[in-house]
Structure 1
């Protein structure tokens, strides 16, 4: 991400933290909400407008830059060995997923059959992995970057894939909280690349939505898993009928 993109990402987090929306920013700058959305999406903003927003947020421009730099230093990915240590310990894996989703110590202890001592032990392991900082009073501060991800093809992703294969699709996807879309069509390599970029934007919107709702009580939020996948792929049955490529 460019420095402008990183700076605007830090600004958006400041807006969310103080409960402001694009509509508020539009009012401050005398613009339409659509113009503000486009300004953030295209990562194009004048210094005067940036300073005006900082003024309304009661933060110095230098503070915003410092926040951006702090975010950039946060953990973006674990090593293969670190992920393996989490994947091999299901109790640690449970706690890791909880804290990455914003659970407090009390939330974990209340929702799962872990004693306070067991929960503390696992949190200390995550602190050694630099995923979190365990503060006095068992407060948890996440140390991961907004774009933190599990390693592609790594131990955690492999665990999820195995779980998804065995459990995730055992549903009719007909309840109010479920939806399954299977899309099939013909795309060029360029079209495939464009679709992957759209999927990446959807993933970003999902994480931003999680951030916006992070202030809600844990009792009002529920584990939500979304699977986005694309392959140049054809079922083996169809391959048996395919003609060999012409030379």
Structure 2
């Protein structure tokens, strides 16, 4: 999951805890951990899939319900100002840095990305200038919002999602190319890698039913992963990455022309 999505999920989990009148002490007892650990999980600590599924079990919700809650929480969340949206849309590095601050300190970000002090100062000054972060009396840096605001539907959303989708595509282009070039070795090891895209004409009802089936299948897959994380030796576990994208459009949707060029353009020669 990306950082933006994780923060929205955490916000939804907190809302559910309030609705069910559950305290961090109750959660700690269920998870068999300390209250500070619960606070870290819902704060700046990584939210693993196994932990997420544990929360779902405690709160008696499934991943599909949580997704709906996440969307509702996002709609109620604080919003960027127009000036903040424009700044972040034009400066993708600052957007990435801002999101990372929800789970990392400036020092941790600098160490991970090998930033010098000058660059760190520039990021922080730029974000502070636009009211995106706060610096308290102890010189600790915190985002100005409790959770990452929704990206909206304007320039910032376009910039963010284009970059997100492009990164996923770039990853698979490289990964699948590596797999195809070593197809014999992969077949010998029994490993499947691939990419597929299918176009089917169906009613909206059939399409929606299919998407629900896919979501249910992925939820079952995630639960199996959570089980194996607990029961299998770490050296046997690998990271499975699934990139999902789906849509249904009118038959004359102009965007389909892009897909016609997937094998290359046919032009006058």
TM-score bin (small chain): 0.3 to 0.5
TM-score w.r.t. the length of structure 1 is 0.46
| Superposition TM-score, scaled by structure 2 size | 0.43
Highest RCO, 1 vs 2 (Cα 8 Å, sep ≥ 6): 2
